[in-house]
Amino acid sequence: MARLFSLMFIALVAVLPSFALAGSSEAGKAVLPAAEVAEFSNRVQQDLAARGAHVAIVARMGRDPRVLPRGVQYTHVSYWVFSKITRSDGSRGQGYQVYNLYQEDGNKTRSRLVQDTPADFFAGAHKLDAGIIIPDVRLQKKLLKVIASPTYAALHNANYSVLANPNSIQFQNCTEHTLDVLMASLYNTRSVPQIKANIEAHFKPQAIRLGGLKRLLAPAASQALTTADHGSGVATATFGSIARFMTANNLVKDVYRFTPDKVMRF
């Protein structure tokens, strides 16, 4: 029996990296050539600027989509804010600053808020494919106000779970923080209980199919895979679920995918 359990655990660990590595990690070893990443990130910036986006929600594809759970296309979501920036050569200009929630390097069950550049954001991407939501003008103004205020950091919960339940305050991931900031902006509140009540009432998270054995043993593979904040089913915030919520409530100017070859509807 012990040998059977051991073999089942090994098989589980072989399946679960698609979850574990789909978290909100900073770029590690580069997958794609740096020049291609830099060119792509600049093209995304130029496209956003041409569309008049002062703030946008941008997602990256950090894992092969074939190994991600059904209904999940992107692995990391952040806010991009048009800002005054200092370039690598020390010159000043304008461009997009990226507001991220990343797992800590030494402890994947904890997270921190990090600002970096578009090139940093796409470094380590498995594929140059960006999901983009440009909020409507009214909402952009509200988001900018919240992101620039202490509320943005106050909404951060450092207890990280890849599959965080957006209705709960127990854990948080990058997409849930994005959603919390969105709700704070929509309802003009920094009250976490109020934000969670609004999410539960109006937002439909993405259901994740996770069999009973996988769910039982997942924390043994990685504590960041805990589902302790869920009931009988597992559902989490994703780029797609945020896009659907915002579209259904007429909160978007544009929702699309941007690749090196084309721009298409999401």
What pLDDT band is residue 220 in, cutting at 50, 70 and 90?
A: very low
Q: What is the pLDDT of residue 168?
A: 97
Q: What is the pLDDT of residues 180-191, one digit of tens each?
A: 999 999 999 999
Q: What is the pLDDT of residue 27?
A: 61
What pLDDT band is residue 84 in, cutting at 50, 70 and 90?
A: confident
Mean predicted confidence (pLDDT) in 206-214? 69
Mean predicted confidence (pLDDT) in 69-96? 89
Q: What is the pLDDT of residues 12-52, one digit of tens each?
A: 444 444 554 455 766 656 789 999 999 999 999 999 999 99
- Tokens 């699309």 identify what position? 256
Which of 24-33, 90-99, 161-170, 181-190 comes out lowest in average pLDDT? Answer: 24-33
Domain assignments of the chain as residue spans, ordered by start: 7-265
What pLDDT band is residue 230 in, cutting at 50, 70 and 90?
A: confident
What pLDDT band is residue 63 in, cutting at 50, 70 and 90?
A: confident
pLDDT at 74 > cutoff 50: yes
pTM: 0.88
pLDDT at 133 > cutoff 80: yes
Report which of residues 73 and 5 the model is more confident about.
73
Q: What is the pLDDT of residue 163?
A: 92
What pLDDT band is residue 64 in, cutting at 50, 70 and 90?
A: confident
Sheet holding 76-86, edge to edge: 111-116, 92-103, 76-86, 55-61, 127-135, 252-258, 263-265
Percent of the chain exceeding pLDDT 70 equals 84
